[in-house]
Amino acid sequence: MARPPRFDLLFGPVRIGPKTARNRFFQVPHASGMTNANPHVRAAFRGMKAEGGWAVVSTGACSVHPSSDDSPFPFASLWDEADIRAHRVMTDAVHAHGALAAVELWHGGAAAVNRTTRHAPLSPSGVPWMATHVGFMSSARPRVMDAGDIRNLIRWHAEAAKRAERAGFDILYVYAGMGYLPYQFLLSDYNHRTDAYGGSVRNRVRLTEELIDAVREATGGRCAVALRVSLQELRSRPSEVAPSEAHEVITHLSDAPDLFDVKMDYSATDCSPSRFTPEGSHEPMVDFVKTLTAKPVVGVGRFTSPDTMVSMVRRGVLDFIGAARPSIADPFLPRKIEEGREDDIRECIGCNICISSWHDGVWVRCTQNPTAGEEWRRGWHPEIVRRDAEGSVLIVGGGPAGLEAALTLGRRGFRVTVAEAQRDFGGRLLWESRLPGLRQWFRVVDYRLGQLRKLPGVALHVESRMEAADVRDFGADHVVIATGARWTANLCGANEIPAGSLVGPRVYTPDDIAAGAEIEGPVAVFDFDNYYMGSAVAEHLAARGLDTTYVTSAGSAQSWGVMTNEQPLVHQAFLKAGIAYRTLEIVEAFDGETLSLAQIFTGERRQIAARALVVVGQRAGGSALYDALAGTGEPKSLVLTGDANAPGAIAHAVYQAHRAARELAAAAPRIRRDAPFAMRDLDACGEAAQ
């Protein structure tokens, strides 16, 4: 299909200092949970994006020196020869597909508490970094940097830049954002210095400027130098000579780097969930940058619409369409637009399971793209599934898991029939995507249905509830059961001991609300699931005008939402909607009028009036259909997958189904274990021993 000419603008080459990007698609540095301990996993993950058409592919933050150690979060380093070897695998993979490789040279300063290397954290003025949103990171009091420390920091960047060039990187970032050390110099709240690096904005940008110069000099102008800078706070600070301090900073640095990468300051605003933030949310903070510099500018905004991308360039907001999440959900996004296949884009849904993986310390996981992080380990390609099968498969259930299984099995060459009991496909997302803010999550269904409708040999049937006899009569060679899970009214006791199911008048689960139960207010929502459902149901009920109280056994609303950057925004939404919330309490009883609560640590009892209770705790999987068929010998090949197999996040259901489909009637999968390059394997030694 021909590409609409209006998208041509996205595909011309653009210069970045001494380098040329082949188009305007720029995968900015983002956390992946992949470190130098898994060089091949990382290389395959990043290389896939180069194959998918991104002009620039960056690796994540890369420590320049052991005094910047982000543990227990996974992080990469460029400290020595072994690190150069590890990164070289990635840059080779990126270059093999014609893209430029970028590295984000990083010093965390007070935001890196050096749990492993045990260096005293560095800072401009001894002010601890307060803004960390992940509770288990302590804000150790950092050391004040003296003139020698500043010289060292500049030298470490220069030396890391030389190593980066030897590792094959084309673009080297100086990172003055997200609370890290050069950013702390930019912000007067962290920088109280009275020397040439503190006071006026001119002085506060000096360190960043010197780092840019040092990186350029160290690599003799052969590599492009990018500056990544957070502008949210600076833009809110008045300036006597410019509209804001952000304007002043960009003006001072306008000629210094070869590229500006501009962003927000905090994970929850920078990588904000779609539930609370639309596409292009950074624009109001970064829209002025191009008016103050002739250098190219890249920025992000969860862009998946090519029309929005064109608009960003045409309106002079950005030169490059930056992406982290959209490139994870669809590494082939640029190629699809280039080939006029924008309908095939696997659009990011903005759920932030990817960022939660980094917080969890594991490789990136993605709801939309089950192959993310599995490119090397399992050899999975996001677009190519080997056509190696024949025969028929009946899939029972057309939710995320059933549809994912159908797509992958169809691509393998099976004749696929999907039977769904409801009037529409979508499973749990039919209702969940109608909860406040979750509309974009339906992209999980839209993408798969769109692809399935193009596949020959796939039959899709709604209003087709299957019983065991129907399945047997159908006579497929293989049967996949993806019938989902249901919410229970089980309670939890103190000490996380499971309590029995609550039976009584006006006790509901999310499934009851989805089925249209008429809820009376005042209503209480008891949440010990702690992911999105409890808070989204509370918002949904409040939006219907019900007096709503949210009760949780955890210390905050949607406590696991700290992992997905939702938590601060959930609290804001509760305040706006007038939802009362009570923490550290469990429900002991409910008689339809009075809710009995107990404090989880002290056992102290409270009672509140309520006419309805919604329990959001546990889901039960399993499938009566599967049980009726299993072990009967008919069908011979029977698989249980998705939430019916193990209820979890949508990402888990999609992954399970993808894996089941790859492995159905196939040879045993080969799973590779990655290993780091070690100094002992190499001749030279570096500074890492410090």
Name the residues that contact ligand ADP, by CB under 6 A.
Answer: 396-402, 419-422, 427-428, 465-466, 482-484, 625, 642-644, 653
Q: How far is the CB of 286 from ligand ADP (least distance, A)?
A: 37
CB of 323 to ligand SF4, least distance (A): 9
Q: What is the dihedral of CA 36, 39, 44, 49, to 10 degrees?
A: 30
Task: CB nearer to ligand ADP: give 114 or 367.
Answer: 367
Q: Write the DSSP symbol of residue 2.
A: P
Q: H helices within 54-99, ranges in order?
A: 81-95
* Residue 328 interaction partner, one of ligand SF4, ligand ADP, none, beta carbon < 5-8 Å per kind: ligand SF4
Angle formed by the axes of helices 81-95 and 147-167, nearest 10°: 50
Of these partners, ligand ADP, ligand SF4, none, which one is at the site of residue 368 (CB under 5 to 8 Å by kind)? ligand SF4
350 binds, among ligand ADP, ligand SF4, none (CB under 5 to 8 A by kind): ligand SF4
Cα diameter, the chain? 83
Tell me the residue type at 351: C
Distance CA 146, CA 148 (A): 5
- What, of ligand ADP, ligand SF4, none, does residue 421 touch, CB below 5 to 8 Å by kind? ligand ADP
Of 351 and 661, nearer to ligand SF4 (C-beta) is 351
**Minimum separation from the CB atom of position 123 to ligand SF4 (A):** 32
Residue 325 contact among ligand ADP, ligand SF4, none, beta carbon within 5 to 8 Å by kind? ligand SF4
Measured from the CB atom, is 231 or 466 closer to ligand ADP? Answer: 466
Q: Which residues, 6+ apart, have CB-to-CB distance to 579 below 8 Å?
A: 538, 539, 542, 548, 549, 550, 573
Token pair 């000490």: residue? 495
Report yes or no: 230 and 183 within 8 Å, Cβ to Cβ.
yes
CB closer to ligand SF4 out of 35 and 272: 272
- Of these partners, ligand ADP, ligand SF4, none, which one is at the site of residue 652 (CB under 5 to 8 Å by kind)? none
User: What are the C-alpha distances in Å from 205 to residues 2, 106, 265?
Assistant: 47, 17, 17
Minimum distance from CB of 484 to ligand ADP (Å)?
2
Please write down the HEC assignment for all residues of 233-270. Answer: HHHHCCCCCCCCHHHHHHHHCCCCCCEEEEECCCHHHH
Cα–Cα distance for residue pair 24/7, rounded to 1 Å: 11
H or E segment to which residue 395 belongs: strand 392-396
**Which residue, chain included where needed, has tokens 């939710």?**
399
User: What is residue 637's three-state secondary structure?
Assistant: strand
> Smallest distance from the beta carbon of 562 to ligand ADP, in angstroms?
24
Strand, coil or helix: 499: strand
| Shortest separation between residue 301's beta carbon and ligand SF4, angstroms | 13
Calpha distance 74→35 (Å, rounded): 6
Tokens 């899970």, residue?
A: 485
User: Smallest distance from the beta carbon of 515 to ligand SF4, in angstroms?
Assistant: 27
Q: Which does 653 bind (CB under 5 to 8 A by kind): ligand ADP, ligand SF4, none?
A: ligand ADP
- Residue 642 interacts with, from ligand SF4, ligand ADP, none (CB under 5-8 Å by kind): ligand ADP
How do beta strands 585-590 and 594-599 pair?
antiparallel
Catalytic-role residue among 175, 180, 190, 550: 180
CA distance 661 to 637: 12
Cα gap 635→629, rounded to integer Å: 7
In the bound state with ligand SF4, the residue whose beta carbon lies nearer, of 328 and 480, is: 328
Given the rule CB under 6 A, which residues bind ligand SF4? 325, 328-329, 348-354, 366-368
Q: How far is the CB of 428 from ligand ADP (least distance, A)?
A: 3
Residue 628 neighbours by CB under 8 Å, 6+ apart = 467, 468
Query: Measured from the CB of residue 48, what is the shortest distance to ligand SF4 in angstroms?
Result: 14
What's the Cα-to-Cα distance from 12 to each of 23, 261, 402, rounded to whole Å? 5, 19, 40
The CB-of-243 to ligand ADP minimum distance in angstroms stands at 49
Task: State how far the Cα of 605 lies from the Cα of 345, in Å rounded to an integer.
Answer: 53
Partner from ligand SF4, ligand ADP, none binding residue 420, C-beta < 5-8 Å depending on class: ligand ADP
**Strands (E) located in 292-375:** 297-299, 320-323
Strand pairing class (76-77; 637-640): unpaired
Nearer to ligand SF4, 121 or 331 (CB): 331
Measured CA to CA, the distance from residue 490 to residue 509 in angstroms comes to 10
Q: Nearest approach, Cβ of 361 to ligand SF4 (angstroms)?
A: 16
- In 3-state terms, what secondary structure has residue 199? coil
- Give the residue carrying structure tokens 């380093």: 77
**531 among known catalytic residues:** no
Partner touching 569 among ligand ADP, ligand SF4, none, CB below 5 to 8 Å by kind: none
How many CB atoms lie under 10 A from the CB of residue 556?
18
Cβ proximity of 102 and 119 under 8 Å: no
Contact of residue 428 among ligand ADP, ligand SF4, none (CB under 5-8 Å per partner type): ligand ADP
Q: Which is nearer to ligand ADP, 372 or 644 (CB)?
A: 644
65 or 658: CB nearest ligand SF4? 658
DSSP state of 633: S
Q: Is the Cβ of residue 141 or residue 465 nearer to ligand ADP in the bound state?
A: 465
Query: Which lies closer to ligand ADP via its Cβ, residue 117 or residue 422?
Result: 422
Q: Which residue has the tokens 């049967």?
A: 479
- When the beta carbons of 224 and 354 are compared against ligand SF4, the nearer one is 354
Shortest Å, Cβ 73 to ligand SF4: 17
d(CA 646, CA 234): 46
Chain-centre distance of CA 46, in angstroms? Answer: 15
**366 interface partner picked from ligand SF4, ligand ADP, none, CB below 5 to 8 A per type:** ligand SF4
Residues 559, 575 contacting (CB under 8 angstroms) = no
Closer residue to ligand ADP, CB minimum distance, 537 or 644: 644
Active site (catalytic) residues: 180
